[in-house]
C-alpha cells in the first residue's frame, strides 16, 4: 500500500528541507509547534490530536486520541475526566507516550515521559474557555463507566442542562482536569522516498537536550 502524501506544492516531503539535527539539540518545542501550526494552516481536522498510550494494571497498553491543549517547555497538556480509564491508569503508572501523525505532511512526532496532573487553577482557566455544551457534556458523563443505553445518557444530559439552566457560568466538574506529559524523549519523523526517512531522537539530559539521528 502506498502512502498518499499531500500532492505537489510546499507540503510535499520532497521539497522540504531535511531535519536539522543540530538545531533540535536547542530544544524540541519550536519544531513540534511549527509542524502543528502547519497542519492547522492546511485545514487538517484536529491538528492537535495525539494518540495517548498508557498501561493498565496488568501492563497491557491502552491507547486513545486526546487533544493537546497546552504546549510549552514544561510539556504537553490534555484534559479529561480524572475517573476515566486513562486517568486511573496514569494514577497507577504515571508515564505516557503520545504520538501526533500528520500523514498529509509525512510528519510524525512521539513524546514520552512522566505525567502529572496540572494545577487546579490551570484547569479552571481552560474550563472557562470551553463552550457551554462541552461543559454540560462533561457534567453528564462519568467517562469510561458503563451505562445501560443511549437514552440513559441523554437523560443525564437533560438533567444537568436543567440543573444549570439559570446559571451563567457552569462550574468546573469535580474530578475533571488536565494532565501534563513532561517530555523525556521526543522523536521527529519525516517521510522520505524509498523508506529513507529522517528520524531524530531528542533526549533530555541533566543539562539540556541531545539530538541524534536514527536509521529509518
Ligand atoms: C479527535 C478526538 C479527540 C478527543 N479528545 C479527547 C480529549 O481531549 N480528552 C478526552 O478525555 N477524550 C478525548 N477523546 C475521546 C478519547 O479518545 C476516549 O474515547 C476517552 O477519553 C475515553 O478513554 P479512556 O476510557 O481510555 O479513558 C477524543 C477522541 C477523538 C477521536
- Per-residue pLDDT at 12: 56
Alpha-carbon 147 to chain mean position: 27
Q: Which residues pair with 189 in a beta bridge?
A: 108, 199
- 99 annotated among ligand-binding-site residues: no
- 34 annotated among ligand-binding-site residues: no
Q: Catalytic site residues?
A: 195
Interval 27-46 mean pLDDT: 97
For residue 6, is pLDDT > 80?
A: no
Q: Which residues of 13-27 are buried (b: 16+ CB within 10 A; e: fewer)?
A: beebeebebeebbeb
Contact 180, 74 (CB under 8 A): yes
CA distance 181 to 69: 12
- Per-residue pLDDT at 122: 98
- 3 state SS for 184-202: CEEEEEECCHHHCCEEEEE
Among the CATH numbers 2.30.110.10, 3.30.70.20, 3.30.470.20, 3.30.60.50, which is that of 13-214? 2.30.110.10
Contact 153, 128 (CB under 8 A): no
- Per-residue pLDDT at 3: 46
Cα within 13 Å of Cα(169), Cβ side = 7
Cα within 13 Å of Cα(18), Cβ side = 10
Centre of ligand 1 to C-alpha 208, Å, is: 32
Tens-place pLDDT, residues 79-112: 999 999 999 999 999 999 999 999 999 999 999 9
- Per-residue pLDDT at 8: 37
Centre of ligand 1 to C-alpha 182, Å, is: 20
- Given ligand 1 and candidates 63, 66, 145, 146, which is best to mutate, with the most ligand atoms within 8 Å of its CB? 66
- 72 annotated among ligand-binding-site residues: no
Ligand 1, atom 4, lies closest to the CA of: 66
Q: What is the largest CA-CA distance in the chain?
A: 61
Tens-place pLDDT, residues 118-151: 999 999 999 999 999 999 999 999 999 999 999 9
Domain boundaries, given as residue ranges, for the chain: 13-214
pLDDT band for 17, please (50, 70, 90 cuts).
confident
CA distance 111 to 96: 8
Centre of ligand 1 to C-alpha 101, Å, is: 16
Q: Which residues line ligand 1 (CB under 6 A)?
A: 46, 49, 62, 64-67, 78-80, 84-86, 143-144
pLDDT band for 16, please (50, 70, 90 cuts).
confident
pLDDT band for 2, please (50, 70, 90 cuts).
very low
Amino acid at each position: 500500500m502506498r502512502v498518499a502524501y499531500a500532492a505537489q506544492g510546499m507540503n510535499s516531503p520532497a521539497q522540504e528541507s531535511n531535519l536539522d539535527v543540530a538545531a533540535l539539540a536547542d530544544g524540541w518545542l519550536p519544531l513540534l509547534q511549527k509542524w502543528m501550526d502547519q497542519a492547522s494552516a492546511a485545514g487538517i481536522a484536529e491538528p492537535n490530536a495525539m494518540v495517548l498510550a498508557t498501561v493498565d494494571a496488568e501492563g497491557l497498553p491502552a491507547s486513545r486520541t486526546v487533544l493537546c491543549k497546552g504546549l510549552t517547555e514544561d510539556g504537553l497538556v490534555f484534559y479529561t475526566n480524572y475517573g476515566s480509564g486513562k486517568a486511573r491508569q496514569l494514577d497507577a503508572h504515571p508515564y505516557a507516550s503520545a504520538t501526533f501523525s500528520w500523514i498529509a505532511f509525512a510528519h510524525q512526532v512521539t513524546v514520552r515521559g512522566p505525567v502529572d496532573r496540572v494545577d487546579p487553577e490551570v484547569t479552571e482557566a481552560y474550563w472557562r474557555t470551553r463552550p457551554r455544551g462541552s461543559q454540560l457534556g462533561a457534567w453528564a458523563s462519568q467517562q469510561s463507566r458503563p451505562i445501560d443505553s443511549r437514552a440513559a445518557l441523554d437523560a443525564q444530559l437533560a438533567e444537568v442542562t436543567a440543573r444549570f439552566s439559570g446559571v451563567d457560568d457552569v462550574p468546573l466538574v469535580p474530578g475533571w482536569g488536565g494532565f501534563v506529559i513532561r517530555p523525556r524523549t521526543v522523536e521527529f519523523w519525516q517521510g522520505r522516498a524509498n523508506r529513507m526517512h529522517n528520524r531524530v531522537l531528542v533526549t533530555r539530559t541533566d543539562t539540556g537536550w541531545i539530538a541524534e539521528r536514527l536509521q529509518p
